Amino acid sequence: MGTEHRNLYCWQIDDKDPDHWPVTMRTVEGENVPLNCSTAEFVCRILIGRDHPFTMAHYFDTHWFMTYRTNE
């Protein structure tokens, strides 16, 4: 998952067990920042947590999602 702010959110897959993959952010500068939380908690924090270091909450008054799926 990425943002228009050029941050990339992913899992660091250093372990065979997916339950041990930390959520990691790759910054614009190419730095990998491991985050100590579950994926669901991370998504919630960046969407609504105004004090999270990588928050998007202060950019928007409300949240919206775009789908790229087209109905055929």
Task: Quick: pLDDT tens for 22-62.
Answer: 888 888 888 888 888 888 888 887 777 777 666 766 666 66
For residue 18, CA distances in Å to 7, 32, 47, 70 come to 22, 18, 24, 31
Per-residue pLDDT at 46: 76
Residue 33: which H helix or E strand, with range?
strand 32-35
